[in-house]
Structure formats: C-alpha cells, structure tokens
Amino acid sequence: MGDQEDTPAPPAYVERVVESRVLHRGRYLTFRIDTVERPDGTRAQRDIAGHPGAVAILALDDEDRLLMVRQFRVATGEALLEIPAGTLDVAEDGTIEDPDVAAPRELEEETGQRATEWRTIGRFWTAPGFATEEMHLYLAKGLTTVRDTLGEDEDEHLELERIPLRTALAIAERGGIRDAKTLVGIFWLARLEGP
C-alpha cells in the first residue's frame, strides 16, 4: 500500500454532523451524541468523547534513561508505567493551551525535571473512533531536577522511574507496557535513535 499521509477524505466518505446533543460536561471531557449525514443521505449516530488534546514527553536523561511514571489508573484497575503526559488546559473563554507551553509544565509537574532541549516528534489521535483527543509527542533532553515533589494534580500519585531506553523497549515488546501513548512514544523514539 505504501506510505500515505492522512489526506482529506473523498466526498464518498465524509460524514457531516447535522445535530449534536451534549450528555455531560466534565472537568475536561464532554460526552455527546452526534447525528451524522452520509453522502448518500442516510443518517447515523456517533458517540463522541470530546477532549481538548494532550501532550506526552519522552524525557531522556544524560545516561539515556527514559523518565517514566507509575500511577494507578482507575479505568484499568492497574498501576501503569507511562511516559509523562497531561491534558491541555482550557481557559474560561474556551481557549485551549498551546502544546508547546503544556509540555514543559507537564514534565516538571510529573517528574520534577526541566529540559533545555525540546523537539516535537509528532502528533496522533489516541482513539479516533470515539474521541477527539490529539496527542502531541515531544522529546526532551538536557534534564535538571528542580523539585522533589511529583504530581501537582489532586488525582495524581506518581512514582518516578528511570529506565534505560533499551530496557523500556524490551518491556514494551514483551507486553509489560500497555499504555498506548507510551508504546507509540517508545517505538517512535527507538526508531529515531537507531539500533
């Protein structure tokens, strides 16, 4: 099939939202039912979780160790090993935070580190079948510790781990990491860094 970038859908695939009914507005998620009209005139409903977007950070220290956080996730019933990440803030007027501003903030909140080198790696949809969350992935290097406390949000209880990139890749390959953004990030970074 070859390498193809996302391109605008041909008219035969486009679904136009003709009605949207909000069921619940949470702290950062909005649950709604969208009624769509297909090109042939038929209609269908789509359950959508509206999300402002997020950032995820591949933070590598001077010893090529990946900074990861372990935290309990109620939705999974497990403590997961993840790269630092967080939701973009939404202002009172609805303005969504710039990911380039959010990434350093989230890195410091979750790891107590600041970075002098930042590189945008890419963006991806986390669950495009039902969610509007777009994840912005960054590489951060030149780390320095600025504080010892982790997780400023009341729902965050984090444990910081420094894992060599090769070890993190091996853990991911054997199924020991099951968080999607972390898997995407580790495999992307392994490809960038080479063998």
Q: Which of 5, 63, 92, 154 is catalytic?
A: 154
Do the bridges between strand 30-37 and strand 16-25 make them parallel or antiparallel, or are there none, so unpaired?
A: antiparallel
Is 159 one of the annotated active-site residues of the chain?
A: no
DSSP alpha helix (H) spans, 36-128: 99-111
Sign (positive/negative) of CA torsion 75, 76, 78, 84? negative
Residue 185 near residue 138 (C-beta atoms within 8 A): no
Q: Any long-range contacts for 117-126 (C-beta under 8 Å, 24+ apart)?
A: 117/141, 117/142, 121/58, 121/185, 121/188, 121/189, 121/192, 122/188, 124/184, 126/54, 126/180, 126/181
- By annotation, the residues acting in catalysis are 154
